[in-house]
């Protein structure tokens, strides 16, 4: 009986970390993935009207987008700058406000990768 309890305890302890090891892409619904891809494409376009329309249609604030969205492995501001979308990058940078100390571990970024 003791041996069975030890085996059961070890099995539970071994599988527990696997439950929390899912990637953000695997747990993401299709609607969320579509929304993030649309926001990334709008940011890439350097068209503020398109970006504003897209972010409002998904009810996302600029600050939330700037802090949490990653496009093709880069945060959205760097992604926009790499693609020459300086107007969009500047708008997102302004949404962050003044410089402050942020606990980096508390912020989780959501990654999305897409092909055109």
Write the pLDDT tens digit of every residue in 44-88.
999 999 999 999 999 999 999 999 999 998 899 999 999 999 999
How confident is residue 22, by pLDDT bands cut at 50, 70 and 90?
A: very low
Which tens digits make up the pLDDT trace of 40-55?
Answer: 999 999 999 999 999 9
Site of tokens 């760097």: 78
Residue 95's nearest CA partner among 114, 75, 74, 73 is 75
Contacts of 25 (CB under 8 A, 6+ apart): 33, 111, 112, 113
**In whole angstroms, what is the distance from residue 51 CA to residue 62 CA?**
10
The residue extents of the domains of the chain are 23-112
The H-assigned helical ranges of the chain are 2-19, 30-45, 48-57, 62-68, 76-82, 86-95
């Amino acid at each position: 009986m003791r041996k069975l309890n030890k085996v059961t305890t070890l099995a539970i302890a071994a599988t527990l970390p696997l439950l929390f090891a899912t990637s953000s892409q695997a747990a993401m619904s299709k609607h969320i993935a579509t929304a993030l891809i649309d926001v990334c494409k709008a940011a890439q376009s350097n068209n503020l009207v398109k970006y504003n329309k897209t972010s409002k249609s998904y009810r996302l604030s600029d600050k939330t987008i700037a802090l949490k969205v990653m496009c093709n492995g880069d945060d959205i501001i760097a992604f926009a700058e790499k693609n020459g979308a300086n107007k969009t990058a500047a708008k997102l940078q302004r949404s962050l406000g003044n410089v402050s100390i942020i606990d980096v571990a508390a912020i989780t970024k959501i990654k999305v990768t897409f092909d055109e």
